[in-house]
Amino acid sequence: MAALHLIASSPDAGAALQNCLGAAAPGDAILLIGNGVYRAATASFGRIAKRSVVTRWYALAVDVAQRGIGSELNTVVAIDDATFVDLVTSHQPIVSWS
């Protein structure tokens, strides 16, 4: 079963994304939550997402809306809480990166 990686830290808060990508396997999913959604709005994110082995990128829609970056998402699908629950129940393990 594919893993679900959660990233909640902002781009300037360390190497969470780099560490996550180093551990991710093909078919894994990454969900950006909290300040982690800012990562999807960075200029370099599109290149990072295309080069990664991760096939699915998500961001929690409520966090995107609260931060006002909905129009800036690059290659990321905004999801609601119900879809978040579906991701958690369909992936094993769940790994949180900070």
For residue 95, give Cα distances in angstroms to 6, 23, 24, 64: 6, 10, 10, 21
Domain boundaries, the chain: 4-97
More confident call, 13 vs 79: 79
pTM equals: 0.93
The rounded distance, in Å, linking the Cα atoms of 31 and 79 is: 9
Over the range 60-80, which residues count as b (16 or more CB within 10 Å of their CB) and which as e?
A: bbebbeebeeeebbbebebbe
pLDDT digits (tens, 9 = 90+) for 36-83: 999 998 888 888 888 888 879 999 999 999 999 988 787 899 999 999
Q: To which H or E segment does residue 59 belong? A: strand 56-60
Q: CATH number of 4-97: 2.40.50.40, 3.40.1260.10, 3.30.420.40, 3.10.580.10?
A: 3.40.1260.10
